[in-house]
Amino acid sequence: MKIKIIQPGMLTTVQDVGRWGFQGKGMPVAGAMDLFALKIGNVMVGNNKDAACLEVTVLGPTLSVLEGEGAVVVTGADLGFSINGIASCCNTVYKVKEGDILSFSGMKGNGCRAYVVFSGGIDVPIIMGSRSTYLRAHIGGFDGRALVKGDVLNTGEPHILWQRFIDFKCPFDVLPERREGQPLRVVLGPQDEAFSPKGVETFLSESYKITDSADRMGYRLEGPVVEHLEGADIISDAIPLGSIQVPGHGQPIVMLADRQTTGGYTKIAVLCSPDISAIAQRLPGEKVSFKQVSFEEAVLITQKEAGQVSKLKQNVATWITRIPTSTIGHKSEMPVSSGTWKLTVDGHSYMVDWERIEN
Amino acid sequence: MEDQQWPKVLLAGDSCIIVEYGNSIGLEINARVQALRRILEKRKISGVHEFVPTYRSLAIYFDPVKVEQPMHFLSLLKRLAIAAESESGVEKGVGIIIPVCYGRDFGPDLDNVVHHTGLTEEEIINRHSSPDYYCYMLGFTPGFSYLGGMDETIATPRLKEPREKIPAGSVGIAGKQTGIYPIDSPGGWQLIGRTPLRMFDAGHEPPTLVDAGLWIRFQPISEEEYKNIEIQVAHGTYTPEMFNKGEVPA
């Protein structure tokens, strides 16, 4: 497919899971802010997990399908997605074809970032192992920048059975349960010992407002001062995704996708991976609070989220191997020429796509 | 965790562990960081996918989904962190020569350094290109190396007004630090010269010329040599000259 940008929206960029492997060279990771939304999007249209999508922020773009046809799903926040002016659902796979218009009318209250995932993914050059856009250094994505009016994007090679993914709906129990006021889970460290017991207590018990300085690089928070023992500066070290820096002024900063790789401020705690996706959907003005979990608990929480993605994969596999409704009750006139079978060999299950070879 | 005992194994969320070998900047501590990196690169622990060496610590990134026993994983890293202390003894240092054209258009702030230090241009160039610098880490921007070893007599404070755009390859001084701008970027360093080499090239594998643990020597070149090397770099025919640092005590 060819996709044309009619209106770019507030900030629309090409993102995948990120440019991992080069932080030691000073290269920021970038990638989708809500990684869970990207992952389930790719599963629902049959893409590989490294496929790229469009990350849409607050005010979505207007896109038109210039050429071809394919499957599309919008995940993450509901930004008022519609196809050809007809309100459409998030987490539901649609077929789009030449002439179709995808647009967004505005936020519906469950977050600020949506992910437009096409079958085949967005086909831009792979730079240092990733298609993600790193805006600050103009690397990756589409010309290293946010999309603008008139840009034309190609999608990659779709799943051979992409048509069969159409109409799939993500079950609600796969999606994360995010209640208002639910604290974000953190593991204390690496520099929690640089804070007074009172400082740690403040951080874990008070709530913090997300300020207007909240972007892909990080969210600056505002609230009761988190007290250091002696000074906030350390010898520069690595800044992990989701780490919470506290400079001398005592106000936390959550470091996100476009963070620099190293820095010299104390980090009191690091968010659990699933809660990095959760905060990425929050907006300036909203309040957040933190709850401590152990390292073991955090690993389990993250593994559980990965389990949800695996569960979705199973659901999708069942969906694409379903008996087409048109053949139920009567014998099809047309011989079936392709399909997907679940095979079990030595106790291991495999999904096998097959296609008839004409002689 | 243990008090006042190195190495410290610090938790950094569910996907990263940071091992700290001390609380100062020096070759000895950094040698342990590099030793641990080598051990882990050889060992290939399931799930571990990326390392970020810094002055006195190594960040170890891993996929928590592939970690079966979190506490075993932690204690394994602890054991290896301690093992790195004894393996860090003496290392054969390797260095790379960075040709630099000093002064004039390539180093518009050389005059500032002359005024600040009271030294002549020649003396500043000589003192900047004499020592071997050690690359402790990369960070700040893609490909930016934090170098140790500058002669403090040429230290000069940053510009009062940062420039909006500094060309890639510019060599500058900021206080007691020296460094090379790997990509076009804004900045306030006193620019004293420029290298025709590409310190960072996203399309090249590896994307950076310098890595943490490597030594660097600046070699003064003429404008003509600069242009020659620049052409070779553009054609992909230039191979940077390397040197042996000999045994580096750690």
* Tokens, residue B115: 């005024």
How far apart are alpha carbons B233 and B238 in whole angstroms?
5
Q: What are residue B210's phi and psi, to 5 degrees?
A: -110, 150
Return the bridge partners of B153, or none.
none
DSSP string, B70-117: HHHHHHHHHHHHHHHHHHTSEEEEEEEEEEEEESGGG-TTHHHHHHHH
Whether the Cβ atoms of residue A24 and residue B52 lie closer than 8 Å to each other:
yes
List, as ranges, residues 4-33 from B with C-beta within 8 Å of A.
10-16, 18, 20, 23-25
For A243: left if phi > 0, alpha if psi spans -120 to 50, otherwise beta; the answer is beta
**For residue A299, which of A170, A187, A158, A194 has the smallest C-alpha distance?**
A187
Q: Which residue has the tokens 């004409």?
A: A358
Listed residue (A199, A298, A187, A185) closest to A252, CA to CA: A199
Q: Residue B13 and residue A26: Cβ atoms within 8 Å?
A: no
Indicate the domain borders of chain A. Answer: 2-170, 179-359
Write the single-letter amino acid at B216: I
Q: Name residue B58's beta-bridge partners.
A: B19, B53
Hey, what domains does chain B have and what are their CATH numbers?
8-88 (3.30.1360.40), 92-249 (2.40.100.10)
The pLDDT tens digits of the residues spanning B114-129 come to 999 999 999 999 999 9
Complex ipTM more than 0.85, yes or no? yes
**Does the beta-carbon distance from A262 to B64 stay under 8 Å?**
no
DSSP A139: B
The closest CB to that of A237, out of B54, B64, B141, belongs to: B54
Query: Does the CB of B65 have a partner CB in chain A at under 8 Å?
Result: yes
A321: Cα within 13 Å, side-chain hemisphere: 15
**pLDDT tens digits, one per residue of A33-79:** 999 999 999 999 999 999 999 999 999 999 999 999 999 999 999 99
Q: CATH class for domain A179-359? A: mainly beta
pLDDT number for residue B20: 97
Query: How close is the nearest chain B Cα to the Cα of A202, in Å?
Result: 19
- For residue A346, the model assigns a pLDDT of 82
State the DSSP H helix or E strand holding residue A277, giving kind and residue range, or none if neither.
helix A273-280
* Smallest Cα distance from B82 to chain A, Å: 18
Helices (H), strands (E): how many in chain B?
5, 14
Residues of chain B contacting residue A268, judged by C-beta atoms under 8 Å apart: none
- The mean pLDDT values, 10 residues at a time, for chain B of 250 residues are 75 98 93 95 95 97 95 95 81 90 96 97 98 94 94 94 93 95 92 97 93 96 97 95 78
pLDDT of residue B90: 58
